[in-house]
Structure 1
Amino acid sequence: MNVYPLVLGPVQTTCYVVSSQGRAVIVDPAANANKIIQYLGTKKLIPEAILLTHGHFDHIGAVNELAAKYRLPIYAHKLEKEYFDQPEVNLSTMMYQPFVLSEDLDYHWLADGATLTCLDTQVKIFHVPGHTSGSLCYYFVKDRMVFTGDTLFKQSIGRTDFIYGNHQQLVTGIRQKLLTLPDDTLVYPGHGDCTTVADEKRNNPFLNN
């Protein structure tokens, strides 16, 4: 399994193209759809789905264009629909032009504990609210890697001072659902460097008190 990070948009959000044997899924297409399309074309990858960790504007900016071009299904938690539909909730009115997702997207809602098969591998779904209501983390079981969006970062956690944020809910969810993964699990966050579960157990000041 290949993981290629693309740092995109006004707040340097990391979009990940996860690929295997000429097929790909796109995690959080943040912005600059043309750059994602260019990478897919250069590597001759056929995209199969978009996986959204949450609905803040800086994680969904290229969804409309990619979904239209490739006719892709969109996977997310149903509680994020409000973020997709309302600029004041997805924060685009704070830092950007008001932005919403198209009304005719092919949504597939995922619940906590669900499993998704993509790229011929099993992906386990964790609902870890606190940064947003419906934040999801995608755990690729065989490859021991988890895409956490703005839930868990290297030595940090997501902000909880936005609408619907909840610090205690976030910390509890991370401890119960992410820190219980194998220590060597690679953590791919929505901003900043990759880390591991073991490193966050030892070094994350938000989780060690």
Structure 2
Amino acid sequence: MQAPLSLEIVPVTAFGQNCSILWNPATLHAVVVDPGGDVPRIMAFIAAKDLVVDSIWLTHGHLDHAGGADALRRELTARQGKAVPVIGPDRADEPLLSAIPQQAALFGVTGLESVRPDRFVSHGETLEALGHSFEVRHVPGHTPGHVIFYDPASRFAFVGDTLFRGGVGRTDFPYGDHDQLIAAIRDQLLPLGDDVTILPGHGPATTIGAERAGNPFLT
């Protein structure tokens, strides 16, 4: 049986983005998902729990999800004495990741940095972390390279800005595609099962079943 994991949501940036810190309480090893900013706040929690972060995962290339990743990588590497890799998203989001200060300027936000992942991920691959196996699924539409990370053993998924409680991700960007997003949600998220908890990039957690039944974009 795989060990149960612990989770802390740290809201970051003026956008209230849900940076997730997931760890194995037996080993204190952790991953950080979507550190969009406010790195001192993230580091304070990591230090308080005495966690060892093995990697940083990105669902997509928007400023509020990835703008703190490079700074966090530097801080963790200095604290832990070895490189902490940034993993994901799909390579199609590389142009967004390389233009985070330009994204931030559109919202009057400063202090966020572009980031080059140590490696991108692809649909269908598996990330082994914390004694669990996480499936990578490509769910484009909000951004071209958006991915989700799904843990079948624990029945939950980090879904970024694809599906929310009662809503879906914005697609009113030059690279957005609403029809593509809805199709990807139906193909890649809904089949996970009604009992699966989804942890979105903003707002409260929900379940596949609740959204299948009541989300106005899906019914």
* TM-score category of the 2 structures, normalised to the smaller one: over 0.9
Query: Displacement, 1:91?
Result: 2.5
1:79 counterpart residue number? 92
Residue 8 of structure 1: aligned partner = 12
The equivalent of 1:175 in structure 2 is: 186
Query: What is the distance in 2 between the residues matched to 1:33 and 1:109?
Result: 22
| 1:78-115 Cα distance to aligned partner (Å, 9 max, x none) | 11111111248x7222112385424xx55211111111
Matches within 5 A, 1:32-181: 32-70=38-76, 71-76=83-88, 77-87=90-100, 91-95=103-107, 96-97=109-110, 99-102=112-115, 105-181=116-192
Percent identity reads 33
1:172-205 deviation line (CA, Å, top 9, x unaligned): 0001110000211110000000000110100110
Q: 1:87 to 1:64 in 2, by over 3 A?
A: closer
Q: Of Structure 1 and Structure 2, which has the larger fraction of its residues in strand?
A: 1
Whole-angstrom distance in 2 between the partners of 1:62 and 1:187: 23
Matched pairs, number:
205
User: SS in structure 1 opposite 2:22?
Assistant: strand
CA contact (8 A) 1:187 1:197 kept: yes
Listed one character per residue, the Cα deviations across residues 40-90 of structure 1 (whole Å, up to 9, x for unaligned) are 1111110011110111101112211111122321111111111111248x7
Distance 1:30 1:100, change over 3 A: closer
Superposition misfits of 4+ residues, deviation over 6 angstroms: none
Equivalent residue letter for 2:160: G
SS at match of 1:108: coil
Task: Tell me, in whole angstroms, the C-alpha distance in 2 between the residues paired with 1:106 and 1:84.
Answer: 9
CA–CA distance in 2 between the matches of 1:78 and 1:87? 15
Change (3 A) 1:205 1:41: same
Greater Cα shift, 196-205 or 63-72: 63-72
In the other structure, the counterpart of 2:80 is: none
Cα distance in structure 1, aligned partners of 2:44 and 2:193: 34
Q: Given that residues 183 and 198 in structure 1 are in contact (C-alpha distance below 8 angstroms), is that contact kept between their aligned partners in structure 2? A: yes
The one-letter code matched in structure 2 to 1:59 is H
Q: How high is the TM-score relative to the length of structure 2?
A: 0.89
**1:72/1:106 contact within 8 Å kept:** no
